[in-house]
Amino acid sequence: MSATKYIFVTGGVASSLGKGVISSSLGKLLQARGFNITIQKFDPYINIDPGTLNPYEHGECYVTDDGKETDLDLGHYERFTGIRTTAYSNYTTGRIYQSVIDKERRGDYLGKTIQVIPHITDEIKRSMLFQGKRSHFDFVITEIGGTVGDIESQPFLEAIRQLKWELGNDALCVHLTYVPYLAAAGELKTKPTQHSVKELQSLGIQPDVLVLRTEHELNNSLRRKVANFCNVAPTAVFQSKDQPTIYEVPLRMQEQGLDAEILRQFGMPIGETPGLGPWRSFLERRHKATEELCIALVGKYDLQDAYKSILESLSQAGTYNDRKIKTRFVNSEKLTPDNIAKELKGTDGMVICPGFGQRGIEGKIIAARYGRENDIPTFGICLGMQMMVIEFARNVLGLEDANSVEMNPATKHNVIDLMECQKNVTNMGGTMRLGGYPCILREGSRVRAIYAQEEIRERHRHRYEFNNEYINRYEAAGMQCTGVNPDTKLVEIVEIPDLNWYIGTQFHPEYSSTVLKPHPLFLDFIKAAIKYHTK
């Protein structure tokens, strides 16, 4: 077995250039050559994990199957490659410091002054190598959040500098930069890239491969110029031009030979270029799917990244149903019984989104009611499911003040209650019910038919639950609890079988939908929306 190779992906010039997509694409291409790969992310901010961050600050919080709240880029890693990331796939500065400080208190460093170098950098290095040591990977791709030059990135870059030195031929650095187009001059500018590489070099890191993000085609002379000024081989400069979908990026990288160049630099045999058959078929189908279907996203965060995995799951399911998915954000804070018909006009189904806290929940309840009364395909996820449950209690069971104790701790009808295991929780970070749990699907139910299996496993992120004291009343009135955790009896799924498609899940199916394995619930939801559309 040959030694694990480490690929570090850094970014310069600007944030949001798509390091996550480049890392995922590279992972995909190496995997297609038969290599066992994993991808991890190191984020320089101080929160221990993004679980306590507002989605406006950092986009969606992605949850791994083993129950870690992580950066949304891990969602890309899973969607592109089908790998399962873990608690060891995402570290932050806070997590690194916490571990060093715990060790200091335990006395692991007795007698020593604890410093950024070497203690923090050693801890970063240890964490960067951890997954490669725990199981065998041919390649470990490590993405570094933020941009080169940020104060908080420095210990991470110093760790990479040292690792590149220690690992020698088993490590290399891919640097992603931006080449702006100055319309007035009619020119593409390489100076920001040169500066960004200089910045890296001043920290002792020579990038081995450059990926230039651009809105315009980069010609060979520009690539040669960049290679020349930045000390990289001319064969090691790639362009990442804007694509109609991020799922095109692996193909564009393969055409230019990014994976082959990496193998060449590692001194590994290059071999045949993999055909990427299933991936290409997915893209072909996606391009052919021109007929549009519009799905309303009822939520409170007017920001694409806040519902990233839901958007991707819908769009993947659209492709497999030969539809192009348009989403319409419907701000639940502004929904009223009077404007809902107008807000949803022209949409073919709605997702009632996850969330926390009071803000915007009455709008979600109005949406749940409108969906139920008008038999619109409606998919409630986590808080969305809880709002379906509250709506049903208020308007069908006649429990007027039914609520979640999250919103009203004194409610008489606590149809959504705090989970027993949450009652003594005082710390907010990392203490929800997190990650994958089993769920048994009731025979004869819609969801059982959709999944075509009895036991499933789905990921969670919540503190509140369906209150089982009310189960009988719900079932008698037509809302069925068709998915239940076999150990704790927590209700995981509710559905109204009399309606076309009205399903709420306490879990988050969106975390496990991938390009080549779209999630059955999203596939079926889109089918129902198509039927509704053509009616």
Task: Compute the CA torsion angle 96, 99, 101, 103 (nearest 10 deg).
Answer: -140
User: In this structure, what are the phi and psi dihedrals at residue 530, rounded to the nearest 5 degrees?
Assistant: -65, -45
For ligand GLN (CB under 6 A), the number of binding residues is 10
Does 526 bind ligand GLN (CB under 6 A)? Our answer is no
The secondary structure of residue 299, as a DSSP letter, is E
Peptide bond into 118 cis (omega under 30): yes
Minimal distance, residue 61 CB to ligand GLN, in Å: 9
Q: Which of residues 372-391 bind ligand GLN (CB under 6 A)?
A: 382-383
∠66-70-74 over CA atoms, to 5°?
A: 90
CA distance 323 to 289: 5
Minimal distance, residue 476 CB to ligand GLN, in Å: 25
Q: Which of residues 148 and 310 has its CB atom nearest to ligand GLN in the complex?
A: 310
Lookup result for tokens 């600050």? 57
Q: Which stretch binds ligand GLN (CB under 6 A): 136-144, 279-287, 348-356, 489-497?
A: 348-356
Minimal distance, residue 500 CB to ligand GLN, in Å: 24
CA distance 397 to 389: 10
Per-position DSSP letters for 132-172, written without gaps between them: HHHS--SEEEEEE-S-TT-GGGHHHHHHHHHHHHHHGGGEE
CA distance 246 to 515: 11
Pair 65, 435: CB distance under 8 Å: yes
Q: Which of residues 294 and 352 has its CB atom nearest to ligand GLN in the complex?
A: 352
Minimal distance, residue 383 CB to ligand GLN, in Å: 3
Q: Which of residues 41 and 300 has its CB atom nearest to ligand GLN in the complex?
A: 300
Q: Which of residues 140 and 381 has its CB atom nearest to ligand GLN in the complex?
A: 381
The secondary structure of residue 515, as a DSSP letter, is S
In the chain, the N- to C-terminal Cα span, in Å, equals 59
Tokens of 78: 């899973």
Lookup result for tokens 């081989």? 233
Minimal distance, residue 200 CB to ligand GLN, in Å: 38
Kind and range of the H or E run holding 460: strand 455-462
Tokens of 252: 């564009």
Q: Which of residues 80 and 522 has its CB atom nearest to ligand GLN in the complex?
A: 522
Residue 388-427 contact track with ligand GLN, rule CB under 6 A, x = bound: ------------------x---------------------
Q: Which stretch binds ligand GLN (CB under 6 A): 11-19, 27-35, 109-117, 351-359?
A: 351-359
Residue 435-474 contact track with ligand GLN, rule CB under 6 A, x = bound: --------------------------xxxx----------
Q: Which of residues 32 and 490 has its CB atom nearest to ligand GLN in the complex?
A: 490
Q: Which of residues 236 and 432 has its CB atom nearest to ligand GLN in the complex?
A: 432
Active site residues: 382, 508, 510
User: In this structure, what are the phi and psi dihedrals at residue 139, rounded to the nearest 5 degrees?
Assistant: -135, 135
Q: Which of residues 247 and 466 has its CB atom nearest to ligand GLN in the complex?
A: 466
Does 355 bind ligand GLN (CB under 6 A)? Our answer is yes
Minimal distance, residue 166 CB to ligand GLN, in Å: 41
Residue 299-338 contact track with ligand GLN, rule CB under 6 A, x = bound: ----------------------------------------
Pair 393, 402: CB distance under 8 Å: yes
Minimal distance, residue 506 CB to ligand GLN, in Å: 8
Kind and range of the H or E run holding 434: strand 433-441
Does 75 bind ligand GLN (CB under 6 A)? Our answer is no
CA distance 217 to 236: 16
Pair 508, 311: CB distance under 8 Å: no
**Which residues of 190-287 form beta strands (DSSP E)?**
209-214, 237-241
Query: Which residues contact ligand GLN (rule: CB under 6 A)?
Result: 354-356, 382-383, 406, 461-464
